[in-house]
Amino acid sequence: MSDDRQSPPERELSHAGSVVDKAIEFMIGQELSELAIASALLGGAMGLLTRVLPDEVVVQILENAIESIENGEMSRADGEDHAGEA
């Protein structure tokens, strides 16, 4: 297994993104709200990150995400699913 503190290989990231996409499709099929789905995924991701990274690194990731939102990078009007691109 690779070092958890390094960026995952592209193939591994792509595979994980596909699994997340399928999980989202399944939850939508279960008629869960988009807010519930997103909140659960975010909570799970944060829990995993805090187990494998120092707090200051997690804070930097969150700050980068906030900056992306503020810059409009996360607002996509194209309707495409962009799981795993953060």
The C-alpha atoms of residue 41 and residue 30 are separated, in whole angstroms, by 15
pLDDT at site 2: 43
Query: Are the C-beta atoms of residues 72 and 5 closer than 8 Å to each other?
Result: no
Three-state DSSP string of 9-64: CHHHHHHHHHHHHHHHHHHHHCCCCHHHHHHHHHHHHHHHHHHHCCHHHHHHHHHH
pLDDT at site 84: 52
Give the pLDDT band (50/70/90) at residue 83.
Answer: low
Interval 36-77: pLDDT, tens: 999 999 999 999 999 999 999 999 999 999 999 999 998 865
The C-alpha atoms of residue 20 and residue 83 are separated, in whole angstroms, by 7
83 against 55, higher pLDDT: 55
Quick one: average pLDDT of 13-21?
A: 95
Domains of the chain, by residue range, sit at: 10-70
